[in-house]
Amino acid sequence: MMMRVQLLAYTPEPERTVAAAAKLCYSPVGIEAVREGLDEASTARFVDMLAEIGHESPIEHASFTFGIEGVSRSLLAQITRHRIASFSVQSQRYVRKDDFDFITPPAIAEDAETDALYREAMAACGHFYEALADRLKRQHTERLVAGGMEEKEAARKAEKMAIEDARYVLPNACDTRMVMTINARSLFNFFSHRCCNRAQWEIRALADAMLRLVLEVAPHLFKSAGPPCLRGSCPEGKMSCGEMDAVRAKYRAMREDV
C-alpha cells in the first residue's frame, strides 16, 4: 500500500501571520496596524530574522493540517510522540479490518521469498482476526438477546464489542489513516528529528512528503527545515550516518524542485 499525504488546510498567509506576530513584539503600533507594510519582501525579512536570532514563539501562530493515509500502526506509535500536535486516527474499535491493507518494509519487498513469507504472515493475522471477530460477535449477540435485547440491536452492539477484542491480533503493519494538525514551530522540530537518516524509514518518508508540501506554501518559514546537519554539524556524534554531504544535496534539490 502506498503512502498518501495531503496538506488539507493551513493558516492563511502563514508567513505574513508569523511576521505580524513578530513585528508586534518590537513595534509600538496596535493590532490594526501591525500587518501594514508587510509585503512579500518585508515578510521574508522578518521570517529570516526570527531564524537568525532564535525567536521561535511567533512561528507557533501558523499551523498546518495534513491528511495521511497508507501508513502503519507502527508509524502511529512514533508520530504521536510529537505531543504538541493534534491527531484524529481511524479507530480499530469502530472500523472492522477484514482484508486489511498492510505496509511492507522495502527490505522485505526487495526479496521475493522474504516478501512471500511476510504476506503469508499478514494473511494468517487476517484469518485469525476475522475468525475471532465472527466468533465473539456470535457469543455477544446470544448473551445480549438472552438478556432481553432485540436481535438487530444486539447484533449491532455485539459487532463493536467483538472487533474491540479481535483487533489485538492485528499486526503493526496494518494500515491506518489520520488527520494531523501541528504548529510551524513543532513541525520544524518534527522535521529535525524525522528527516534525519537515523530516523526509521517510514516516518522519514512521511516527514519528507510533509516538508515538500509546506515548502510550497511557506518557503521562507521552512527554508532551513530538515535534519540538523543542514544547519551545522551533525549532533549524532559517533551515531552519525556519515553521509552529510549527500543529505544536504538531497534537501537542496528538494527546495529547488518547489
- Output b/e per residue, 83-106; b: 16+ Cβ within 10 A: eebeeeeeebeeebbeebebbbbe
Please identify which of the residues 73, 167, 185, 194 carries the catalytic annotation. 194
Instruction: For residues 199 and 109, give the distance between their C-alpha atoms in angstroms, rounded to a whole number.
Output: 20
Any residues with CB less than 8 A from the CB of 219 and at least 6 apart, and which?
A: 255, 258
- Cell numbers describing residue 203: 516516518
Residue pair 176/76 in contact by the 8 Å Cβ criterion: yes
Which sign, positive or negative, has the C-alpha torsion 97, 98, 99, 104?
Answer: positive
Measured CA to CA in angstroms, residue 138 lies from 68, 127, 133, 162 at distances of: 34, 17, 9, 9
Identity at 168, one-letter amino acid code: Y
Active site residue 81: no
Instruction: For residues 176 and 51, give the distance between their C-alpha atoms in angstroms, rounded to a whole number.
Output: 35
Closest CA to 173 of 113, 115, 248, 118: 118
Report, as residue numbers or ranges, the catalytic residues. Answer: 194
